[in-house]
A and B are shown apart, each in its own frame.
Chain A
Amino acid sequence: MKAKSWITICLSMSLLLMFSAPVLAQGVIKIGGVYPLSGNIASTGLDCKRGVDLAVDIINGKYGKDLDLPMAKTGGLPNLGGAKLEVVYADTKGEPKNGMSETERLITQEKVVAIIGAYQSSVTKTASQATERLKVPYVCSDSSSPTLTERNFKYFFRVSPHDAIFARDWFQFLKDVEKKTGKKIATVAILYENTEFGSNVGKYARKYAEEFGYKVVADISYAANATDVTSEVGNLIKSKPDVLMHASYITDAILFTKTFKEMGFAPKGILTMAGYIEPGYLPAVKADGSNIIVRSTFALDLGKKKPLVTKVSQLFKKKYGIDMSENAARSFMAPFVLADAFNRAKSTNSEAVVKALLETNIPGSQVIYPWKGIKFDPQSHQNIYAQGGLVQVQNQQYVTVWPFASAAKDVVWPFPGWKGRK
């Protein structure tokens, strides 16, 4: 009994003493990067982290002065005595609870002055609630749930477009394609995985279908980890839609692509999101991915019209040995927005930074996406210039096909079917 008592007391004591104080560095501005770095979608989180790391290297002047990006020419933040940026990463495992606790830990213990990241919208929700409570700015460029900027938070800013914009793009594209080909499109099927992301897309797709005058003939939600999706595809075939709109993660994107082919489901167009543009998708399905159209904020071929994109993607390839993916490219921009704000605010004080963020006006030439720039809406703090685009898989590459004005190649329309692929 005695020993048990002592062990119990020692256990409690050791918990008290387990933790030590953090060390502060001089001349360095620390920001927190919250990403799913382990667990089911760790590969996506690591991809985002690559984009952020490259951005920070550029800001700190590692790659010289010929890049037209904020801070690249000066190397460090000139108004803050040339201070360098440093990212302290935290792993969320993709769980909202960790999004909150890691954000709080980074701010109070690691003394970061701003937060970026989270990727999954549900995690961004709790992480941004934490920054709101602790009054620290949060610049997000990789979560796409429309609800995030509907909350009108004071400290939360979003650079990238959200799913409602993307869903609207699908329909705008249909209108444009109708005009281009002169052929009517009447019906659409909406297919979405049933977590936060998919069901939000479903909601907005239904809304815009009505607005744009298309009939929804199938409205199907499913579990993303399904073992088999033949009943879903069976329902799609039965409803005979002109166009399929699909919001998915990567696993279900792979499974659906294979099942579409197997059951011969070939509508006039397949418009998709997220999962279809993950770096793992094309290597997994190979030629079966051809002609599928995906929403995107980034494609390597943007470089044809924007040399900056080529420069950045070459740096990326040199640093990591792989092509810059859409995820990496989306996460890439947030550190620049923050660095720019710190520099103009001449301080890392939250209120000053928020004020500077509200005055952000980064020109389109300094952005690696086909946008007019970055400027936040004073109410919602959504970047008003953020817009999507559509890419299509052609010859195992994602090529920009819409908006037609910035298209690198012509869109293949209608979808040519599954026969004759290897």
Chain B
Amino acid sequence: MPEQLLQQIVNGLLIGFMYSLIAIGLTLIWGVMNIVNFAHGEFLMIGMFTSFWLFTMYGLDPLFSIPICFLLLFLMGMFIYRFIVSKVMKGPMLAQLVVTFGIGIFLSNLAVYLWTPDFRLIPPTILQGTWEFGELNLSIPKTVASIGSIITSLCLFLFLRKSKTGKAILATEMDREAALLMGINTERINSLSFGIGAALVGVAGAFLSTYYYIYPQVGGLFGLIAFSIVALGGFGSIEGAFIAGILVGLAQTLGGFFFDPAYKYAIVFMIYLITIWIRPQGLLGW
């Protein structure tokens, strides 16, 4: 019994790190331009399909397609910001909420149109199998994805704290007006953040594609969970989203293990509701 418990904690962490990686891109966009990107799950799906097609057509292992996913999604994010999202930034709040829904519906059905609604899986790659430590089984692709999540989050963190552009992003996030007065081109920062946010979820997609099936609607639940994670962690807080992701992963797994698996996502949403009731700005929000 303690072995299963340990196993469950480990599994919770593994899925939690994945959630974190998906959520940090979302929180960046949210924090910088105060927009909820409801198409985030579909960005994830595009990342997964990119990785799938690179493998199918060129035999490229998902691990090596990460930079391509990053770049492609970065460009896609910039494009979407430049031609769609930037146009609603000054519009009513409802338009901001709805526009990304439209993009999401469009993208997932574009995927149906181009690639059919079939389910796909990338066959065994260099990242396959399990490490066994006594009773504990550690899935190799999930572990690698978790390490990747930590590294990526760390890179983002350093980028935001150390580089000039990063500091400009943070400044914009804290106070847009002040940033504008300081001579920061906030429009450029916006499109850059949107691009980076999309690129991060592209990386998540590449990692996820090593062990999860791929189909046009795959982003749905992942996206939904990511929204709660971001709101749980607090507006635009990278650290908050990272921690909240892990918490949600653990809550979901242990909740499913000890209570009823049928309720495990309900438990996640419940935790979110209770948290914002007590602390409306989220765990690390301000």
A contact residues vs B (CB 8 Å cutoff) = 38-43, 194, 220-223, 225-232, 234-235, 237-238, 250-251, 254-255, 258, 261-264, 280, 284-286, 422
A222 x B262 contact (CB < 8 A)? yes
Q: Judge whether B253 and A228 touch: CB under 8 Å.
A: yes
Q: Give the residue of A41, A43, A227, A258 whose beta carbon is less than 8 angstroms from that of B116.
A: A43
Given the complex of chains A and B, what is the CA–CA distance between A230 and B261 in angstroms?
Answer: 10
Q: Which of B112, B211, B217, B261 contacts A222 (CB 8 A)?
A: B261
Q: Which residues of A contact B112 (CB under 8 A)?
A: 38, 42
What residues of chain B lie closer than 8 Å to A235, measured between beta carbons? 256-257, 261
| B1-24 with Cβ < 8 A to chain A | 1, 4, 7-8, 11-12, 14-15
Interchain CB contact under 8 A, B213 and A263: no
The answer to whether B15 and A262 touch across the interface, beta carbons within 8 angstroms, is no
Q: What is the predominant secondary structure among interface residues of chain B facing chain A?
A: helix
The smallest beta-carbon distance between A250 and chain B, in angstroms, is: 6
Given contacts A227-B222, A228-B15, A230-B253, whether A262 and B265 have CB atoms under 8 Å apart is no
B266 to chain A, nearest CB (A): 9
The complex places the Cα of A133 from the Cα of B116 at a distance, in Å, of 36
Q: Given the interface contacts A230-B253, A231-B253, A231-B254, does A284 sit within 8 Å of B119 by beta carbon?
A: yes
Distance from B126 Cβ to chain A, minimum over Cβ atoms (Å): 14
User: B155 → chain A, closest Cβ, in Å?
Assistant: 24
A42-B117, A254-B119, A284-B119 as given contacts; A231 in contact with B256, CB under 8 Å: yes
Instruction: State A229–B137 Cα separation when bound (angstroms).
Output: 14
**Partner among A228, A237, A255 whose Cβ is within 8 Å of the Cβ of B213:** A255
B221 and A225 within 8 A (CB): yes
Residue in chain A with minimal CB distance to B132: A264
CB A87 to nearest CB in B, in angstroms, measures: 22
Asked if B174 is an interface residue, CB under 8 A from chain A, the answer is: no
Q: Chain B nearest CB: distance from A50 CB in Å?
A: 14
Verify if B101 is at the interface (C-beta below 8 Å from A). Answer: no
Contact A280 B119 (CB under 8 A): yes
Structural contact, B215 and A251, CB atoms closer than 8 A: yes
| B225 and A227 form a contact (CB under 8 A) | yes
By beta carbon, the residue of chain B nearest A193 is B262
Known: A254-B121, A262-B139. A230 touches B8 (CB 8 A): yes
Residue in contact with B257 in the complex, picked from A39, A42, A231, A258, CB distance below 8 Å: A231
Q: How far is the CA of A8 from the CA of B235 in the complex (A)?
A: 43
When the two chains form their complex, are residues B11 and A228 in contact, meaning their CB atoms are under 8 A apart? yes
Closest chain A residue to B109, Cβ basis: A38
Q: State which residues 131-165 of B face A: CB under 8 Å.
A: 132, 137, 139, 142
Q: Chain A residues near B137: list those with CB within 8 A.
A: 262-264
B1 touches A238 (CB 8 A): yes
A40 lies within 8 A of B217 (CB)? yes
Interchain CA distance A237-B3 in the complex, whole Å: 11
The answer, among A40, A221, A225, A227, for a CB contact under 8 Å with B262, is: A221
User: Chain B 107-127 against A: per-residue CB contact (8 Å), 1 yes, 0 no?
Assistant: 000001000111111011000
List, in ascending order, chain A residues with CB within 8 A of B215's CB. 251
CB < 8 Å neighbour of B121 from A227, A234, A284: A284
Q: Is the CB of A234 within 8 A of B257?
A: yes
